[in-house]
Amino acid sequence: MTPDAVGEPPLADVRVVDLTTTFMGPYCTLLLAQMGADVVKVEAPAGDVVRYVGDEQGTGLGPVFLNANRGKRSIVLDLKQPAGREVLTRLIGTADVFVHNMRPDAVTRLGVRAGDVHAANPRAVYCVVRGFSSAGPYRDKAAYDDVIQASSGLAAVQGGPGEPTYVRTPVADKATGLMAVGAIAAALYQRERTGRGCAIEVPMLETMVSFTLLDQQGGYVFDPPRGPAGYARTDSPYRRPYRTADGHVGVMVYTDAQWRAFFDLVDRPELAEDPRFRTITARTVHIDELYRLLEEEVGRRSTAEWLAAFDARGIPAMPVLTVPGLFGDEHLRATGMFEDAVHPTEGSLRLARFPVDFAGSPRVDLRPAPRLGEHGPEILAELGYPPEEIDAPGNGRRRAGPADPTPVAEA
């Protein structure tokens, strides 16, 4: 938080009704919560499946769930039951944003199409995050991150000339979640001008095709193509963190000035005038030779020596950190990147904060990730249900219907 922060977070008056599960949708709604939105997480009786990933204590609060669902309130509704759909309809009436990642057949069966939501609340922004655009023949296919990395070209790019391979994090889920945040923010701004909500569809495949092609389209930008696809610098098999005498560094030598500085540093100043390396166009063609030179030279000195030398010459470089190493990094500690929290059942936690600062706005103090259905009674009270209906056993509202879970979302 900036020292002069006053007022409210950017989304302080926004309520999000969230029917998403797993990674993509919950990451989107986590970011909205971190900007101040009141996120009501609607779960089937069995709960979001990610509750149970790494859940060694059997509490339904595994590490991914604890990360992705901070700042949210949980209510359990069985949307197969009329009572569950009635509560959801009331919730929609209070919503600024309604977001889900259900497949089309479930959307129709449960009565939560865009027209249904806008009939209950014309001002709601309706957002579906899904695997494939509804305009194409893949519309009904199930989608998970691995499937989208494969079908978007990303796995082939990542594998290079060898076998296709996946990025070792669900990057398609997270990139699509980020895309959804931007789309929702734009739709809320549009609503301020028009007074009405709109429907948004954010498909994973199309998002990741756009994401991949930005730098990888190469000669296929032109029609007909004027060269191969790809980006020579990132395609180089020699582009990787380089081993030093005692560790690894990530270094990016890019501009004319940076390469001249590097050539001086390794006592090869004549290379700055070599036609292969004089311009960025020539260097792109001969990038493998340059990266082989980097690899050879970096191995001759320690990590500390290289970092000092690169910093002195304005060449971007950093040590390679492991995930545990992030928590000891001096810069991340100084910027308050990690927050200490105490969960009522899981104990002490260390979690990454929202990385963006809004000048003049306080940082949001997020509630811990909810136990399944934890906030059902208070949410029902806010919707106007009397105490006897909230507390009466078997009334079909607090845990709406039998424990026959309806998958709320696909992936």
What's the pLDDT score for residue 402? 32
Q: Three-state SS for 201?
A: strand
- pLDDT tens-digit readout, 177-218: 999 999 999 999 999 999 999 999 999 999 999 999 999 999
How far apart, in whole angstroms, are the C-alpha atoms of residue 59 and residue 374?
A: 13
Half-sphere exposure of 176 (CA within 13 A, CB side): 36
What's the pLDDT score for residue 172? 98
Catalytic residue among 38, 78, 96, 173: 173
Nearest to 294 by CA among 230, 235, 243: 243
Please, which contacts does 61-68 make with residues 24 or more away whose CB atoms are closer than 8 Å?
Answer: 61/343, 61/345, 61/346, 61/369, 61/371, 64/23, 65/369, 66/343, 66/346, 66/349, 66/351, 66/368, 66/369, 67/30, 67/351, 67/352, 67/369, 68/23, 68/26, 68/27, 68/30, 68/369
Nearest to 406 by CA among 88, 101, 81: 81
C-beta neighbour count of 11 within 10 angstroms: 24
Nearest to 294 by CA among 344, 220, 240, 346: 240
Give yes or no for a cis peptide into 164 (omega within 30° of 0): no
For the question of residue 329 being annotated catalytic, the response is: no
Strand partners, 16: 39, 97
How far apart, in whole angstroms, are the C-alpha atoms of residue 206 and residue 279?
A: 35
Query: What is the CATH number that goes with domain 242-319?
Result: 3.30.1540.10
What residue type is assigned to position 391 of the chain?
D
Number of H helices, E strands in the chain: 18, 12
How far apart, in whole angstroms, are the C-alpha atoms of residue 310 and residue 318?
A: 9
Please, which contacts does 339-344 make with residues 24 or more away whose CB atoms are closer than 8 Å?
Answer: 341/70, 341/366, 341/368, 342/368, 343/61, 343/66, 343/368, 343/369, 344/368
Domain ranges of the chain: 15-212+336-400, 242-319
Q: Give the pLDDT band (50/70/90) at residue 388.
A: confident
What's the pLDDT score for residue 7? 82
What's the pLDDT score for residue 389? 86
pTM equals 0.91
Angle 73-74-80 (CA atoms, 0-180°, nearest 5)?
145
Please identify which residue in the block is written with the tokens 């923010």: 185
Portion of the chain with pLDDT greater than 70, in percent: 93
Cβ contact 29:16 at 8 Å: yes
How far apart, in whole angstroms, are the C-alpha atoms of residue 4 and residue 363?
A: 12
- pLDDT tens-digit readout, 352-373: 999 999 998 998 999 999 999 9
Asked if pLDDT for residue 4 goes beyond 60, the answer is no
Asked if pLDDT for residue 245 goes beyond 50, the answer is yes
What's the pLDDT score for residue 5? 53
Mean pLDDT of the chain: 92
Q: Give the pLDDT band (50/70/90) at residue 411.
A: very low
15-212+336-400 CATH fold: Rossmann fold (3.40.50)
Asked if pLDDT for residue 92 goes beyond 80, the answer is yes
How far apart, in whole angstroms, are the C-alpha atoms of residue 389 and residue 383?
A: 12
Cβ contact 53:62 at 8 Å: yes
Asked if pLDDT for residue 129 goes beyond 90, the answer is yes
Using the 8-state DSSP alphabet, how is residue 301 labeled?
S
What's the pLDDT score for residue 331? 97
Asked if pLDDT for residue 152 goes beyond 90, the answer is yes
